[in-house]
Chains A and B, each alone.
Chain A
Amino acid sequence: MLHIIVCIKQVPMVSELPWDAKTGTLKRETAQGMMDPSARRALEAALQIKAGMGKNQASITAVSMGPPMAEEILYEAKALGADQGVLLTDPRMAGADTCMTAFILGKFITDHCPDAGLILCGAMSSDSETAQVGPQLAEELDIPAIGYARRLELVHDCIRVERHVDDFMELMEMDLPGLVTIDHADESDLYTPRYVPLGGVEAAFNAGDIRIMDGTALGLNKDFNALTSSPTKIIDVYSPVTRKENRVLTGAVKKMVDTLFDDYGKIISSAMGKDLKTHDHEGDV
C-alpha cells in the first residue's frame, strides 16, 4: 500500500485567477481563496498514480497548513478523490516562512504519517513563487527529492521522474520514500487538473471529517511561534513607481495614433529598420 501525501496551499484569488479560457472572462464566483494551481496539479498526479494501481493499493492524504478557511480546499481535494484531508492550523503558525512551513509539514508527516511513501508538492505557489517549500521539506524529512516533475512513473519501489529544467530534459530515478514537486508551467497536458464533480464538494462536506490539528495536537513546543522564528525581517515597503515625464494622449483613437506617428515616428521607424511616413495628413503625399 502506497501512502501518498499531497501538500496543498490555499492562495488568495489574485485578481487574475482563474479564467474561463473559453469565454475569456473571470470566474468571479470562485470566492477569495482557491487551491494553488500547481498544488492542484500535484493532487492530479497523485490521483493518476492511484488510478494506475490496483484497488486499495494507494491512499492519498491531502494536507494543508493555513488559516481555518483553508479547510475549503481540503473538502475540494476530497471531492476530487483524496482519501483523507488534514488541516494544520494554529495562530502560532501564522506568518510562517518557507523554512517554518517545511518544519510544520515535516512534523506532521514524520509523527502522523510514518508510512508515507511519496510526498508531492506543487513546484511553486502562485502567490509567491519562491519554489522553496518542496526542497526544504525534503531537507526536513531527509529524503531524496526531485523538483519540477512533468511526468511520474512508479517502477517497483522507485519513482521515475521526467523533468525540464534550465533547458535540460532529464530522466531521474529515486527510491521511495521520496518527494517530488510538480511543475506549474507544463505545456503537456498530463497533469491538467480534473474538474470537481457536480455536487462533489457538497458531498465531501456532508461526509465531514477533515482532520483539524492545532500546534498542541501536532506536538509543537509550548513557546513555538512561527512568526518570530523567521530569520528574515521586512524593514520597509515602498512603491517602486517613479513617474516619467510623459506625454498623455486622450481623445479619438485615429487622432492619437496620428500624433504617435507624427511626433515619434522616427523612434519607431529606426527600431523597425524601415522607413515610415511621419506625416500622413491628407494632401501630404
Chain B
Amino acid sequence: MSVEKQIWVWADYRNYFQSRVTLQILARASVLAEKTNATVCAVVFGDQVDAYVKEYIAHGAQKVYVTDDPFLKTYNVASYAFLLTALVRRFAPETLLIGATRFGQEIAPRVAKQLETGLTADCIDLDIDENGQLVQKAPSFGGNLVAKIITPDTRPQMATIRPGTFQELPHDDEAKGEVIPVPLPDTMPSPRVRCLKSELHPARARKIETADIVITGGRGMGSKGKFRKLFDLADLLHAEVGATRPVVYADWVSSEALVGQAGKHIRPKVLFSFGVSGAIQHTAALADARFIVAVNKNPNATMMKLADVAMVADANQVCSGIIRALKQRIRD
C-alpha cells in the first residue's frame, strides 16, 4: 500500500480575516487533493480549539491534526514554528499551505528554513502539473508577468496565499473528518520572546472590501491634489476609494486604501479605474470586479484590456466629466 499523500493547511484563526483565509485555502486544497488523490488536512494549534476543528471539517478538511494545550494560548511564532516543523517531520505531508497574513508570513519562512525546503510567497494561484507536483503561480519581474514555480526535490512544497485569492466552500455540517490529537512534545523550548501585551484593535471598517462601487486611482491621477477629486466622485457614487502602491507611497492617500496583493482584495459590482497601468500585484485583487470602467491615456495599458469600457483620455478630465454628468443625472 502506498503512503497516503497529504496536503496541509496551517490553520490561522486569530482574527476574522485570518479565519477566512484558512477556509479559502482549504477550498483550493480540496481541488488540488482531488487531482492528486491526496487527503486535505488542517493543522490547528492553540488552547481549546474544538470550535475551529469543527469549522475546518465543515469546510473540507478530511483530517485535522490538533495540538490543544494552554501553552499555545498566545500566538508565538517561534513556538508555533517549532511545533509545525516537528509535525511535518513526523507526518511528512507533500504540501504545506499557509495564509499570507502577517503571522503566516512570519511562521512560513521559519518552517521552510528549518525543513530546508522551498517557499513561494504570495501565490495568486495553485495547480498540479502532470507529475503531480504543486505549481505555484506568483507575480514576478516587477509585475507584468506571472512565474510558475515548482519545488522539484524537497518536501513539503510550501506556499503562502494572500487572503481573498480563493473562494471558501459553503459550510457543510454533514461533513465528516478525522481528528488526530498530537500532544505537545517534551522538547518544546520555552519562549524567548515574551508577550507583554496583545490587544485586538480591529481596523476601521474595511468598507472597500465589500463596497458595491470602488474607484481606484493610480499614478496617472497626476498629483495629490488631483487625486482628492476621486473622493468627490466617490461621494456622488456612494463608492469607496482605492489606490495603487505608488500612490500610497507618495502619500496621496493612506495605506488603508491600497488595493492589491499587498493591500485589499475588492469585489465591487462596478469598478472605476483612473490612471492605473494594471500591474499583476494590483489586478490580482480585482478578479471579482463585475463591471470595469478604465480610464487611461494609453489604450494599451493592461488595465484597459481588463476593462469592459476603456476610455482613452486624461483621467482628471474624465473624473470631472463624470462628476458633472452625475450631478445632472442623479434623480433624488
Contact = CB atoms under 8 A, between A and B. Distances in A.
A72 to B, nearest CB: 20
User: Of A147, A241, A264, which is in contact with the most chain B CB atoms at under 10 Å from its CB?
Assistant: A241
A230 B236 CA distance: 52
B269 interface: yes
Nearest to B159: A232
Nearest to A276: B329
Interface stretch (B32-40, B42-50, B54-62, B119-127): B119-127
A268 B270 contact: yes
B168 interface: no
Interface string A1-42: 000000000001010111101011000000000000100000
Contacts of B330: 274-276
A235 B127 CA distance: 13
Contacts of B268: 271
Given A129-B262, A265-B329, A234 B148 contact: yes
Contacts of A244: 305-308
B276 to A, nearest CB: 12
A249 B312 contact: yes
Contact of B109 (A129, A132, A247, A270): A132
A22 B110 CA distance: 40
A233 B310 contact: no
A236 interface: yes
A166 B255 contact: no
Interface string B78-113: 100000000000000000000001110110111011
Contacts of B185: none
A133 B150 CA distance: 20
Contacts of A143: 192
A171 B305 contact: no
A185 interface: yes
A173 B196 contact: yes
Nearest to B146: A240
A20 B18 CA distance: 35
Interface stretch (A55-63, A75-83, A134-142, A196-204): A134-142
Contacts of B179: none
Given A168-B198, A235-B148, A267-B270, A187 B255 contact: yes
Contacts of A172: 193-196
B140 interface: yes
Interface in B132-158: 135-136, 140-142, 144-154
Contact of B307 (A138, A169, A236, A246): A246
A249 B311 contact: yes
Contacts of A277: 328-329, 331
Nearest to A255: B321
Contact of B106 (A147, A236, A243): A147
B212 interface: yes
A102 interface: yes
B167 interface: no
A232 B114 contact: no
Interface of B is mostly: mixed
B182 interface: no
B321 A232 contact: no
Given A24-B224, A267-B270, A260 B322 contact: yes
A17 B118 contact: no
A169 B199 contact: yes
Nearest to B269: A271
B329 A249 contact: no
Contact of A99 (B116, B141, B293): B116
B102 A165 contact: yes
A207 interface: no
Contact of A21 (B102, B141, B224, B291): B224
B202 A167 contact: yes
A170 B106 contact: no
Contact of B201 (A169, A185, A236, A274): A169
30 contacts: A17-B246, A97-B118, A129-B262, A130-B121, A131-B109, A132-B109, A132-B119, A133-B109, A136-B112, A144-B78, A160-B196, A168-B198, A173-B196, A232-B119, A238-B146, A239-B146, A244-B306, A248-B310, A249-B312, A249-B313, A250-B311, A250-B312, A258-B325, A260-B293, A260-B322, A261-B325, A272-B212, A276-B329, A277-B329, A280-B329
Interface of A: 12, 14, 16-19, 21, 23-24, 37, 97-99, 102, 127-133, 135-136, 138-140, 143-148, 160, 164-175, 178, 185, 187, 230-241, 243-244, 246-250, 253-254, 256-258, 260-261, 264-265, 267-268, 270-278, 280
